[in-house]
Structure 1
Amino acid sequence: MAKPNKVGPTRTVDIACAKCRAALFKYRKGGKGALVKCFIERISKDFTHNQTHCPECDTLFSRQTLIRGTPALKIIGGKVTFK
């Protein structure tokens, strides 16, 4: 399978916890669909300590995995919002 584009998109979105609205990431997202996964190399600013739990309310919002051989975070449905 093909690796994700190294250059990546230029549009950034703010990802926040759905429970307490704490900022989690600034992420370079491509496309207009739902946020299902975050490639770690596309995270431009990280506000978390370990990338899987919210720093404010300690809610688990993602799992670390490999997608197409690249480290990524699988987002758990309904745990985060973005705009």
Structure 2
Amino acid sequence: MAKPNKKGPTKTIDIYCQNCQAQLFKYRKGGKGALVKCFKERIVEDFTNTPCHCPQCNKEFARDTLVRGTPAYKFIGGKVRFK
């Protein structure tokens, strides 16, 4: 399988915790589909203290995994939202 584009898209989105509305990431997202995963190399700013846990409410919002051989966070359904 093909790896994700290294350069990636230029448009950034803000990813928030669904529970407490704390900002988690500023991310370069491609396409207009749902937010299922987040490649680590495309994260512009990381506001979390511990990986996959919200800095305010400390709930787990994602799991650390490999997607197409690239490190990524796979989001748990209904735990995050983005603008």
- Please tell me the TM-score bracket, short chain as reference: over 0.9
Alignment correspondent of 2:12: 12
Deviations 1:35-63, CA, capped at 9 Å, x for gaps: 00000000000000122000000111000
Deviations 1:10-35, CA, capped at 9 Å, x for gaps: 01000000000000000000001110
1:8: Cα distance to partner? 0.1
Mark the runs of 5 or more structure 2 residues left unpaired by the alignment: none
CA distance in 2 between counterparts of 1:42 and 1:20 reads 24
Structure 2 counterpart SS, 1:13: strand
Structure 1 counterpart SS, 2:72: strand
Q: What count of residue pairs does the alignment treat as equivalent?
A: 83
Which AA in structure 2 matches 1:17? C
Alignment correspondent of 2:24: 24
Q: CA RMSD in A?
A: 0.5
CA distance in 2 between counterparts of 1:81 and 1:74 reads 13
Alignment correspondent of 1:64: 64
Which AA in structure 2 matches 1:58? N
Identity among equivalent positions (%) equals: 70
